Amino acid sequence: MDNLYKIKLDHFEGPLDLLLFFIRRDELNIYDIPISKITKEFLEYVNYIKLMDLEIAGDFILMASTLMHIKVRMLLPREIDEKGEEIDPRADLIKALLEYKKYKEVAEELLFYEANQRKISFRGNTDADAKESPIELDTLLKNINIYDLAKAFKFVVEGIKDKPVHEIKKINISIDEQIQYILDKVNEMREIHFLSLVYGMREKIRIVITFIALLELVKMQKIGIKSSETFNDFIIQSMNNG
């Protein structure tokens, strides 16, 4: 377990992220999780973070109790559903992991787009650069994380129907332009829903660059993001108090 403890704790967004790490590291079958093995390692990790008195320990302890409950159910005779089929005690966990894995991959894809965009489009010293003291992350991101953002991004992109290609048309768009576009919208309205922001955009690359610009503005502390009551959406707020 020494190798596990060398990994920075803040690399894990939560208990599902840690479980997915175990599965990837050991090349396990996500549809046939060896629950005893993964529970043992998870409990060792939980004991470690409890010793460090981390605020995140609560979520990991809850997952640990879930894993132990599943482990006990795996030892008992299988329950039978209405169709006469055996119920896999791991089913809900597998479903949650697959869903989490899907949005984690979207988030990683966004980071890939951002890294490649930086190679061809550079943001210089602009008026939009942060000049004030850092703002707490909880102020910028209220009850929302990168995977919530990724869900909204995926929802918008998948809603665009690919058109038959008859000609290749280059779309000239940069992160700087979309940063200014977002700032103009947010400064005008104080807050705007993400779906409203990208409404009318018909090119996937435009949405990708807009999303990257949005993440840039969060890092620059010019906007904040909070959850929305609307599914697959979030609210963008201006951090300009003036």
- Residue 97 falls within a domain, yes or no? no
- Residue 112 falls within a domain, yes or no? no
Average pLDDT over residues 33-49: 86
> Looking at the 3D structure of the chain, how many domains does it have?
2
DSSP string, 72-93: HHHHSPPPB-TTSPBPPTTHHH
Domain of 64?
Answer: 2-89
- Residue 98 falls within a domain, yes or no? no
Task: Tell me the whole-structure pTM to 2 decimals.
Answer: 0.49
Q: Do 131 and 84 fall within a single domain?
A: no
By CB atoms closer than 10 A (0-12, 13-18, 19+), residue 6 is exposed
- Residue 170 falls within a domain, yes or no? yes
> Is the confidence at residue 146, as pLDDT, over 80?
no
- Residue 105 falls within a domain, yes or no? no
Q: Do 145 and 53 fall within a single domain?
A: no
- Residue 104 falls within a domain, yes or no? no
Q: What is the DSSP letter of 151?
A: H
- Residue 94 falls within a domain, yes or no? no
Which of 109, 175, 117, 98 has its CA nearest to residue 146? 109
Q: Do 137 and 233 fall within a single domain?
A: yes
Q: Which two tokens stand for residue 4?
A: 């596990």
Instruction: Work out whether strand 191-193 and strand 141-142 pair parallel, antiparallel, or are unpaired.
Output: unpaired
Average pLDDT over residues 199-208: 82
Q: Do 73 and 26 fall within a single domain?
A: yes
Residue 9, pLDDT score = 45
